[in-house]
Amino acid sequence: MKTREDIESYLLKMGVNHEDLGGDIWRLREDGMENLMVSLAGPIVVFRLKMMDVPAARREALFETLLRLNTTELFHCAFGLEGNAVVLGGALELENLDFNEFQAVIDDISMAVSKQYPVLSKFRAVA
């Protein structure tokens, strides 16, 4: 079974700038991802990144866009809603986790941020 030490070693191997927040939670800061959180939740490794707040206007169009992006652009993660926020999330089983799987989720999230943020930012409320 893999442990938190394996997660730490994967982060070091990737050369990702990260901070151990304790309690099996790490904050990654890499290439435009200022708050990618990686945490252990029992037998699962959870990846979570807040993309933006859900705007008051054009919500249906935003939600449709998120669903379409989930099916056409993302492989190891998905857009979702958490409270009033649009988040990117992914999860892997800890028991058989290998480095390539771990890196694939982080790479997918990184690519989604750089590629999809311009699309989603059009829905942000204009002050």
Give residue-wise pLDDT tens across range 91-104: 999 999 999 999 99
Q: Is residue 24 part of a domain?
A: yes
Greater model confidence, 31 or 118: 118
Which CATH number does the domain housing residue 100 bear?
3.30.1460.10
Q: Is residue 88 part of a domain?
A: yes
pLDDT tens, 106-120? 999 999 999 998 899
Band of pLDDT at residue 34, cut at 50, 70 and 90: confident
Cβ 23 vs Cβ 46: under 8 Å: no
Q: Is residue 37 part of a domain?
A: yes
Q: Is residue 59 part of a domain?
A: yes
Identify the domain containing residue 61 by its residue range.
4-121
Flag whether pLDDT at 105 surpasses 80. yes
Q: Is residue 127 part of a domain?
A: no
Residues contacting 124, CB < 8 A, separation 6+: 52, 53, 55
Cβ 22 vs Cβ 79: under 8 Å: no
Distances in Å between the Cα of 52 and the Cα atoms of 4, 20, 98, 105, 116 are 29, 24, 30, 20, 12
Please count the structural domains in the chain. Answer: 1
* Spatial CA neighbour of 105 closest among 85, 90, 120: 90
